[in-house]
Amino acid sequence: MRFIQVLLLAALFALIGLGALYVVAPTRFVELAVQAERWTAGLEHKELDIPGFHLHYLDSGGTGTPLVLVHGFGADKDNWTRLARHLRKHYRVIALDLPGYGQSDAPTTERYTIGDQVERLHAFVQAIGLSRAHFGGNSMGGNIVATYAARYPNQVASLWLVAASGVSAAPQSELRKLIADTGQNPLAPSDAVQYRSMLQWVMARPPYLPNAVVDVLAARAVAAQPLRAKQFADLVEEANALEPLIRSLPIPTHVLWGAQDRVLHVGAVRVLSAVLPHATHSILPGIGHLPMVEAPEQSANDYLAFRLASRG
């Protein structure tokens, strides 16, 4: 009984300590929260070098078939953490920070087009010793992994396109219309107010985040704004239609989209289905541009069903 009392007392002091940390050192609180989520998901933080860049990534390890996950514009490897918790028992989950994002090197002198990032992804895959893997990507990351599959089809066992960008024939989204009409890009916020607005753009059902945590994340995004503006300009300057690249690609593919996506129109699902007649798709009601963040378990189960059906 006394042992249980000691444990409860220790837990109480730990909670008090975390509460104090949240108030006096919110940045450190966010770092510890991120580490805790990675630990819960069974992900280990790792680092390596590819030509020109030092990269950071998360890896569940194990002997399962490798699943490489690529984040979108302005995002990072931790966009996949909550999803990975539901997949790591089935696969070796690997999520990297692309060059220019997250903790990876981000030189302003480099270019950040889809083609550039495809080759850097290829270098990363080679550096971790994978000759063949399954790939998934969200938004810009979906465009990257799809282009990767077109360039290196023998190295791609399957594709998971989560609200992938680059679908030129898709209907115009709210974001595309805003950028066309005003030149403003909500995905590259320059102050905390714009950052909070950005969260509403990318998610219809965002997870709860305390105000102090949002403040820390907003400060990071604002600091990165000049680089994000340059990266977005690079993407626009060398934008290519995805459809001709992947037309009739003989790789098992699953397309996942949120019905309430404001960033990229859900009508892209129809376009991709026409280009990839053997691909499957799912549309999640009430979900925005980040299904793996907004509905991680549902997204994971949807992916598991795809892999089971494709026997991958």
Q: Which amino acid is at 185?
A: N
Q: Which residues, including other chains, have CB under 8 Å from residue 286's CB and lie 6 or more apart?
A: 204, 205, 258, 259, 260
Catalytic residue among 56, 71, 254, 289: 71
Maximum alpha-carbon separation in the chain: 69
Q: How is residue 116 written in tokens?
A: 């550039």
Q: Among candidates 310, 198, 188, 215, which has minimal Cα distance to 262? A: 198
Q: Among candidates 48, 45, 47, 40, which has minimal Cα distance to 61? A: 45
Is 139 noted as a catalytic residue in this protein? yes
Catalytic residue among 56, 86, 134, 139: 139
Is 71 noted as a catalytic residue in this protein? yes
Q: Which long-range contacts (CB under 8 A, 24 or more apart) does 45-52 make?
A: 48/124, 48/127, 48/128, 49/127, 50/120, 50/123, 50/124, 50/127, 51/123, 52/99, 52/105, 52/110
- Catalogue the active-site residues: 71, 139
